[in-house]
């Protein structure tokens, strides 16, 4: 069996290594158009910021070490330019000599990844405008910083790579502005969750320009759609990626609208013996059942293993992706799994939601940090998505939630998870358990929630009731609210009007829940603000309520 693999990084090298473990006799050729294989794309921003100092650390394997370990014929600086599936041939251009030759295959694996999108903006081709995908891109940015000594960087786009690059350019000593066309950073988060990040980003002195588009790039500035001009000695373009599949266009291999490879759950394309995976391939989303590209390293690696196993005759199937992702954002951590509220709305999928705020570990133990958790679930409690923003411990909670979502657990199952606890690490009721309790209370109708965005629609019959302490209320409150601290509520029920609907809030929703239970059991209509004043204030500060 002669297997030809196009692309030598996560998907390609992963497939090659697993193939060799499966089959010592296969002939495996791996074609890579760049000078490196199997490099750490995900580590590139941290090399620019100086946390990773040794360039060699970015290469997990060299062509030589990969050959020695796996007996794979690795050809770098070799670009596949044309594929003829009917003849089972690939035309390959040697980028050193510019010569083209034809290679045959029995099985072809396509893992060409995705390239940064470059919008048709005036000045996008200037030499201080860069993108980040490969080691040469990284070295180019580093060289530019060392030789041209830029003071001001502008990062266009604030997805995971954009925010990581903003942070690392900052660490490299540059003043950074971020330009984002949407109203929040990190698109897979919802705006209210991202609002916690915005405050942190601005506190670092970063100019964060939301709802803004770059219309032109000049040698020393970028121009925004509202006419503002921002100084920019270095511009990093990071507005998303697009499957690197132009070379497949006339091959007969089926591509989607954005050029993504259409594959089945065994990574097979429409052409016999041709497989596709990684950032270039669309796969099933386990929550919505739709297919889309999820350009992340974990799916690419899992798909690589499955591709190799299927080629070798195993009957394994790719179950799909859920987009679990995490990023450090100027000292905070943002993480998501499954769908966001905005994607569920867009797809018309009904959902319920809850917000909880929990400490990373026992509050009495020094050093605990808060995290905000948003759970999205359906009417029978099945998880649809989760996002977390906070400090310590976000990573392990998102992984528990990702595993729960993948396993089809419900919010009641989250209540029942027995998670490791000792004061330095967690609380006896872990943040995941607490999120499950809050969501379960909503479905059980123990807690009648309302949400910050509902407030503007309240009528004369709705009374906003702040059940925090008087001091907290004086420190800041939702306009129009009255204050009765929860501990006084039972004695002051006579002050309430049983014809009204009390819209209760506290700091994060816990005291509000207790207050709501008191009122409901006294036959007074009441509901509780999920996420409390903390979430409302962050959304208000961030203009989330503006049309």
| DSSP letters for 183-204 | SSSSTTS-HHHHHHHHHHHHHT
Q: Do residues 413 and 392 make contact, with C-beta atoms less than 8 angstroms apart?
A: no
506 catalytic? Reply is no
- Would you state the structure tokens that stand for residue 221, as one six-digit string? 């500035």
Judged by CB under 6 A, the stretch of 46-54, 274-282, 357-365, 495-503 that binds ligand FAD is 274-282
CB atoms within 10 A of CB 417: 15
Closest by CA to 325, choosing from 470, 215, 161, is 161
What's the token pair of residue 390?
Answer: 């906070």
Nearest Cα residue to 38 out of 50, 56, 19: 56
Q: Contact region for ligand FAD (CB under 6 A) — 107-115, 222-230, 415-423, 475-483?
A: 107-115
Closest listed residue to residue 258, CA positions, set 235, 280, 284, 283: 280
Kindly tell me which residue out of 4, 31, 170, 208 binds ligand FAD, with binding defined by CB under 6 A.
31
- Binding flag, residue 12, ligand FAD (CB under 6 A): yes
63 is an interface residue for ligand FAD by CB under 6 A: no
Alpha carbon distance 135, 157 (integer Å): 21
Name the nearest CA neighbour of 470 among 456, 457, 481: 481
Question: Hey, how many other C-beta atoms are within 10 angstroms of the C-beta on 347?
Answer: 13
| Nearest to ligand FAD of 327, 439 (CB atom) | 327
Q: Judged by CB under 6 A, does residue 276 bind ligand FAD? A: no
Indicate which single residue of 4, 5, 19, 44 sits in contact with ligand FAD (rule: CB under 6 A): 44
Q: Interface with ligand FAD by CB under 6 A: which range of 40-48, 376-384, 400-408, 484-492?
A: 40-48
- 476's tokens: 């800041």
4, 5, 10, 434: which one binds ligand FAD (CB under 6 A) = 10
Q: Which of 42, 96, 312, 506 does the annotation list as catalytic?
A: 42
Residue 526 β-bridge partners: 502
Span interacting with ligand FAD, options 41-49, 211-219, 391-399, 454-462, rule CB under 6 A: 41-49
Stretch 245-264: interaction string toward ligand FAD, x if CB under 6 A: --x-----------------
- Does position 42 interact with ligand FAD (CB under 6 A)? The reply is yes
- The helix or strand, by DSSP H or E, that contains position 268, with its residue range, turns out to be none
Tell which one of 126, 139, 286, 296 touches ligand FAD (CB under 6 A).
296
Answer for which of 244, 339, 430, 466 binds ligand FAD (CB under 6 A) is: 244
Binding of ligand FAD by 132 (CB under 6 A): yes
Q: Which is nearer to ligand FAD, 47 or 437 (CB)?
A: 47
CA distance 153 to 174: 6
Q: Rounded CA gap, 399 and 360, in Å? A: 14
Per CB under 6 A, does 33 bind ligand FAD? yes
Residue closer to ligand FAD (CB basis): 161 or 438: 161
Determine, following the binding rule CB under 6 A, whether residue 112 of this chain makes contact with ligand FAD: yes
- Per CB under 6 A, contacts with ligand FAD among 149-168 are 161
Q: Applying CB under 6 A, which of residues 3, 4, 5, 9 lies at the interface with ligand FAD? A: 9
Contact present, 103 and 88 (Cβ < 8 Å): no
> Position of tokens 């530019």?
144
* Least distance (Å) between residue 258 CB and ligand FAD: 15
Give the C-alpha separation, 379 to 3, whole Å: 47
> Could you count the other beta carbons within 10 Å of the beta carbon of residue 25?
7
Is residue 297 part of the contact set for ligand FAD (CB under 6 A)?
yes
- The answer for residues whose C-beta is within 8 angstroms of residue 15's C-beta and 6 or more apart is 5, 109, 111, 275, 277, 304, 305, 307, 308
Among 3, 4, 5, 6, binds ligand FAD (CB under 6 A): 6
Question: Which of 186, 210, 180, 163 has its CA nearest to residue 331?
Answer: 163
Minimum distance from residue 108 beta carbon to ligand FAD (Å) = 12
Stretch that binds ligand FAD, among 64-72, 198-206, 290-298, 406-414 (CB under 6 A): 290-298
Catalytic amino acids?
Answer: 42
Can you give the binding site for ligand FAD, defined by CB under 6 A? 6-12, 31-34, 41-42, 44-45, 79-80, 111-113, 132-133, 161, 244, 247, 278-280, 295-298, 300
């Amino acid at each position: 069996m002669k297997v030809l693999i196009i692309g030598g990084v996560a998907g390609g090298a992963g497939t090659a290594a697993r193939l060799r473990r499966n089959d010592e006799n296969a002939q495996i050729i791996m074609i890579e158009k760049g000078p490196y294989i199997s490099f750490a794309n995900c580590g590139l921003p941290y090399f620019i910021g100086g946390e990773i100092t040794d360039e060699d650390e970015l290469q997990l394997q060299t062509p030589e070490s990969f050959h020695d370990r796996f007996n794979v014929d690795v050809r770098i600086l070799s670009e596949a330019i044309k594929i003829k599936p009917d003849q089972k041939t690939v035309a390959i251009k040697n980028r050193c000599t510019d010569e083209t030759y034809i290679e045959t295959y029995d099985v072809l694996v396509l893992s060409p990844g995705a390239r940064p999108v470059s919008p048709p903006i005036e000045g996008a081709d200037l030499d201080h405008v860069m993108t980040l995908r490969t080691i040469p891109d990284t070295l180019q940015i580093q060289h530019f910083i060392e030789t041209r000594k830029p003071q001001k960087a502008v990062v266009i786009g604030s997805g995971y790579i954009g925010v990581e690059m903003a942070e690392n350019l900052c660490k490299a000593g540059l003043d950074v502005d971020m330009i984002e066309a949407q109203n929040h950073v990190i698109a897979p988060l919802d705006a209210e969750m991202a609002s916690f990040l915005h405050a942190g980003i601005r506190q670092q002195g970063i100019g964060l320009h939301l709802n803004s588009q770059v219309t032109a790039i000049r040698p020393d500035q970028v121009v925004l759609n509202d006419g503002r001009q921002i100084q920019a000695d270095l511009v990093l373009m990071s507005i998303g990626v697009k499957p690197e599949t132009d070379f497949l266009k006339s091959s007969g291999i089926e591509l989607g609208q954005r050029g993504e490879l259409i594959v089945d759950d065994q990574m097979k394309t429409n052409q016999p013996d041709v497989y596709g995976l990684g950032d270039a391939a669309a796969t099933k989303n386990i929550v919505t059942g739709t297919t889309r590209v999820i350009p992340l390293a974990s799916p690419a690696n899992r798909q690589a293993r499955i591709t190799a196993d299927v080629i070798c005759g195993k009957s394994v199937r790719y179950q799909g992706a859920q987009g679990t992702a995490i990023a450090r954002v100027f000292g905070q951590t943002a993480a998501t799994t499954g769908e966001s509220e905005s994607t569920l709305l867009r797809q018309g999928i009904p959902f319920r939601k809850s917000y909880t705020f929990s400490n990373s570990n026992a509050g009495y133990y020094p050093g605990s940090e808060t995290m905000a958790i948003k759970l999205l679930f359906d009417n029978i409690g099945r998880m649809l998505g989760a996002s977390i923003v906070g400090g310590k411990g976000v990573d392990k909670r998102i992984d528990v939630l990702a595993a729960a979502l993948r396993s089809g657990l419900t919010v009641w199952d989250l209540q029942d998870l027995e998670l490791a606890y000792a004061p330095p690490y967690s609380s006896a009721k872990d943040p995941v358990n607490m999120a499950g309790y809050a969501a379960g209370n909503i479905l059980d109708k123990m807690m009648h929630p309302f949400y910050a965005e509902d407030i503007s629609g309240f009528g004369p019959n709705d009374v906003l009731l702040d059940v925090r302490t008087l001091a907290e209320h004086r420190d800041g409150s939702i306009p129009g609210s009255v204050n009765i601290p929860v501990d006084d509520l039972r004695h002051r029920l006579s002050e309430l009007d049983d014809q009204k609907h009390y819209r209760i809030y506290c700091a994060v929703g816990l005291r509000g829940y207790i207050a709501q239970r008191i009122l409901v059991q006294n036959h007074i209509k009441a509901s509780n603000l999920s996420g409390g004043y903390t979430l409302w204030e962050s959304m208000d500060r961030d203009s989330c309520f503006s049309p």
